[in-house]
Amino acid sequence: MCDGVYRGIFKGLVKRAGGVDVVAAIVDAEHGSCSKGTISKMCSGQAALTYQVVHSLEEFVGAFPITNRSFERTSREVKNHRGLPDLAAESAVLTGQAHATLIKAYSALSEDPTRVTSEERAEIIASMRAARQVMTEIIDAAEVVS
């Protein structure tokens, strides 16, 4: 689990957590043995990322990009029929619509601008999921661009 994308994500998480010293202390407290040298080697690609370190780091930061990427990889469908320009255009439209739906729910156009109604909730979820799907396709397409 140590290609360039994973390593870049890991380095970003380490930075968000406060650096290699902090991450080493977190992992050491949870699992018993970890040095800042080990974390530095993981950041540089000299050592493979381990599940224990990734899990502890993601829990501490409260973000799960490595876990999410691993999950996406298992459910990914290869889609070679659309290029990045087409996906970018579709993403711009869908994210705009998704955000407009969310903003509308809290505007004077809403039945109750102080809370999201069940109909608005369903529309927000559907539009955000559609936008997320296109973003996943962009990630998939970008990973195979050489």
Query: What is residue 20's predicted lDDT score, i.e. its pLDDT?
Result: 94
Nearest to 123 by CA among 135, 136, 110: 110
Quick one: pLDDT at residue 32? Answer: 85
Q: How does pLDDT run across 104-144, given as a tens digit for each residue?
A: 999 999 888 899 988 888 888 888 988 988 998 888 888 77
Which tokens is 125 given? 């979820």
DSSP-assigned states of every residue in 36-70: HHHHHHHHHTSS---HHHHHHHHHHHT--HHHHHH
What CATH architecture applies to the domain 4-74? Answer: Orthogonal Bundle (1.10)
Buried-exposed string 79-97: b where 16+ CB fall within 10 A, e elsewhere = eeeeeeeebeebbeebbee
pLDDT tens digit string along 43-80? 998 999 999 999 999 999 998 888 888 877 666 555 55
Domain boundaries, the chain: 4-74, 79-144
Distances (CA, A) of 104 to 116, 125, 145: 10, 14, 37
Q: What is the mean pLDDT of residues 86-100?
A: 92
DSSP state letter for 19? -
CA distance 115 to 133: 26
pLDDT of the residue at 80: 55
Give this prediction's pTM. 0.57
The DSSP call for residue 111 is: S
